[in-house]
Amino acid sequence: MSRFRSLLQASVNATKKAFTWNIEEWIPPAEKYIFKFHSKEDLKRWHLYSDSQYGGLSSASLEIPDGGKGSDGTGIFSGNLSVDLSEGSKLNISRSGFCGMRSKKFDGFIDLDGYDAIAMRLRGDGRCYISTIYTENWVNSPGQTEDNSWQAFVFAPKDRWYTAKIPLARYLPTWRGNVIDVEMEMNPGRVLGMSLSVNAEGGAVGAKSGAGDFRVEIDWIKALRMP
């Protein structure tokens, strides 16, 4: 009888151990790198856009200065915001004064299911930037090529490194830059890409705004699982 009890206990212990091991496999790590900005190869994963595509005069660049590294081994997103339009432009745009950098299409999706926030380590110019997450389109126009976009402000303090942590719940659904007034939740398991942009107007109270130069250094972008 004692032998049977020993075998039974051993079986129970083995089951508990296997179950515990499987549970740990299901839980994602506390943080996950999404993008790094440490080399020119890293920067090739991004492309730039601005109002210049629509008749505006803003300009932007994303680079690591010659020598292989930025001031701290980081990418630099910089440029100039202009609210003017090019002379003779026939394009009718509702607003100008914006620039952005967007990640190129992935082969598949980034699965951020199990994470609660996006973190960015950056050093800026006192402006407020816009963090955008693009997910598979099932909200605005299912079956269309345009992705769903979710946006949140991120402040970039002037001349000091700062790790911004933005809860995924703070990202609002948008359509061409305008917030959609509807209750819905992002699907973090089907992320198609991300972007960081800046506008001449708008942003957090107290942040630098208006036309002129902008500059932000970016070290990395991560997904976080908050305690």
Q: Does the pLDDT value for residue 101 go beyond 60? A: yes
Q: Does the pLDDT value for residue 192 go beyond 60? A: yes
Q: Does the pLDDT value for residue 21 go beyond 50? A: no
Check residue 68 and give its pLDDT: 46
Per-residue pLDDT tens for 66-81?
754 444 579 999 999 9
Q: Does the pLDDT value for residue 120 go beyond 50? A: yes
More confidently predicted of 83 and 5: 83
**Average pLDDT of the residues in 132-161:** 80
- Cα radius of gyration (the chain): 22
Q: Which domains does the chain possess?
A: 31-224 (2.60.120.430)
pLDDT band of residue 227 (cuts 50, 70, 90) is: confident
The average confidence (pLDDT) of the chain is 83
Check residue 187 and give its pLDDT: 87
* Range of weakest confidence among 115-119, 187-191, 199-203, 207-211: 199-203
Per-residue pLDDT tens for 38-62?
999 999 999 999 999 888 999 999 9
By percentage, how much of the chain surpasses pLDDT 90?
Answer: 56
Determine phi and psi for 3, rounding to 5 degrees: -65, -40
Check residue 182 and give its pLDDT: 77
By percentage, how much of the chain surpasses pLDDT 70?
Answer: 78
pTM of the model: 0.81
**Average pLDDT of the residues in 85-100:** 77
